[in-house]
Amino acid sequence: MSSRKVGIVGSGLIGRAWAMLFAAAGYRVQLYDILESQLSTALQELDKDLHSLEEKGSLRGQLRAAEQFALIEVTTKLEELTREALYIQECVPEVLQLKRSLYTQLDELLGEDTVVGSSTSTFMPSLYSEGLKRRQQMLVAHPLNPPYFIPLVEIVPAPWTSPQAVERTHSLMLSVGQRPVTLRREIQGFATNRIQYAILNEVWRLVASGILSVADVDRVLSQGLGLRYALLGSLETAHLNAPGGVADYFQRFGGEISAVSATYGATPDTQGDKVTLEDIARQCEELVPLEALEARRATRDEFLTKLAKLKKQF
């Protein structure tokens, strides 16, 4: 793998973020999209975003914004993208048929050393790579939005993904400053969404049963648990919360955890329960009106930058 070229398929929100991450680490980046107009917009946005990060002192890597931007080029030809690419990050919309047809095209063009990671949040890699000749080079590399500020990447192999493809992706992610975790086998929801959905289900139940308002249930995380979890995982949190560590924690509190867990009830029907959904939407929109979402996202990203810097000292 002597090439320093990384290809990105899809130049939307996530594709652009990956382009910035790879360019920050000095990789040559080629962005591919089916829409030429989307590629010109992507280049304009990347130029603007890189310079704005530089002005704020939040640009990643050792290179200046202009040098990073110079590493990014675009193409509308898939065969050009795959040529000499050491890695390809796929970022097309979350539509299984679209992904399948793209991977079928890629299958004909990939060199034997190129690994393809999908940004998909929901599709297990076996769903789009089954039956392809290069399927051992395909896996999921799932980022969290915004990837520039949140370092986690979930690497998820299909049953046929080669250990070398997993290892290379892991090393590549470390080389761009991300913090990968590798699942030993694919599972629906990967790890992040399984945990996230467990939280969402309980938050929904607490609001639906009238025990807490939306603002208060969110405060439980933003002013409570989330502060710890910004630094430590839930198991290390438990480890620190009992005199004898985690074994002592579960010895002391395991009975209570089981008793409370037995009262959770059925998984909420978040699509069918329109009454709760309307109530949650109304309360959320009182807190952040729809027209203020963009500004709120920008504030979130600004503070995530500061938090990321602080976390490096922890």
Tell me how far, at minimum, the Cβ of 313 lies from ligand NAD, in Å: 27
246: closest CA among 254, 255, 256, 236?
A: 236
Q: Rule CB under 6 A: is residue 119 a binding residue for ligand NAD?
A: yes
Does residue 140 belong to the site contacting ligand NAD (CB under 6 A)? no
**Nearest-CB residue to ligand NAD?**
12
How many amino acids of this chain bind ligand NAD (CB under 6 A)? Answer: 23
CA angle 60, 61, 63 (to 5 degrees): 115
User: At residue 152, what are phi and psi to the nearest 5 degrees?
Assistant: -65, 135
User: Comparing C-alpha atoms, which of 223, 248, 246 is closest to residue 234?
Assistant: 246
Question: Among 92, 115, 153, 217, which residue sits at the site for ligand NAD (rule: CB under 6 A)?
Answer: 92
Q: Give the shortest CB-238-to-ligand NAD separation in angstroms.
A: 28
- State yes or no: residue 14 binds ligand NAD (CB under 6 A): yes
Nearer Cβ to ligand NAD (38/270) = 38
Sheet of strand 152-157, all strands in order from the earlier edge strand to the far edge: 72-75, 28-32, 5-9, 87-90, 115-118, 138-143, 152-157, 179-182
| Spatial distance between the Cα atoms of 242 and 137, rounded to a whole number of angstroms | 44
Amino acid identity for residue 78 in this structure: L
| Residue closer to ligand NAD (CB basis): 11 or 30 | 11
Show the tokens assigned to 78: 């898939």
SS (H, E, C) 174-242: HHCCCEEEECCCCCCCCCHHHHHHHHHHHHHHHHHCCCCCHHHHHHHHHHHHHHHHCCCCHHHHHHHCC
Nearer to ligand NAD, 129 or 207 (CB): 129
Q: Which of 29, 65, 91, 207 binds ligand NAD (CB under 6 A)?
A: 91
- In whole angstroms, what is the distance from residue 314 CA to residue 312 CA? 6
Kindly tell me which of 257 and 298 has the beta carbon lying closer to ligand NAD: 298
Distance between CA atoms of 109 and 117, rounded to whole angstroms? Answer: 15
Distances from the Cα of 308 to the Cα of 134, 147, 296, angstroms:
37, 12, 18
Q: Single out the residue of 121, 162, 193, 270 in contact with ligand NAD (rule: CB under 6 A).
A: 121
Measured CA to CA, the distance from residue 145 to residue 120 in angstroms comes to 12
Q: Check binding of 9 to ligand NAD (CB under 6 A).
A: yes
The window from 107-115, 116-124, 284-292, 298-306 that contacts ligand NAD (CB under 6 A) reads 116-124
Report, in Å, the least distance between residue 54 CB and ligand NAD. 23
Per-residue contact flags (x/-) with ligand NAD for residues 30 to 49, judged by CB under 6 A: --xxxx--x-----------
| Binding region for ligand NAD (CB under 6 A) out of 12-20, 153-161, 195-203, 282-290 | 12-20
Closest to ligand NAD by CB, 94 vs 286, is 94
19 in contact with ligand NAD (CB under 6 A): no
- Stated as kind and residue range, the H or E segment containing 107 is helix 96-109
Beta bridge partners of 143: 153
The span of 91-99, 107-115, 151-159, 183-191 binding ligand NAD (CB under 6 A) equals 91-99
**Rounded to the nearest whole angstrom, what is the least distance from the CB of residue 67 to ligand NAD in the complex?**
25
Binding site residues, ligand NAD, CB under 6 A: 9-15, 32-35, 38, 91-94, 98, 102, 119-121, 143, 145
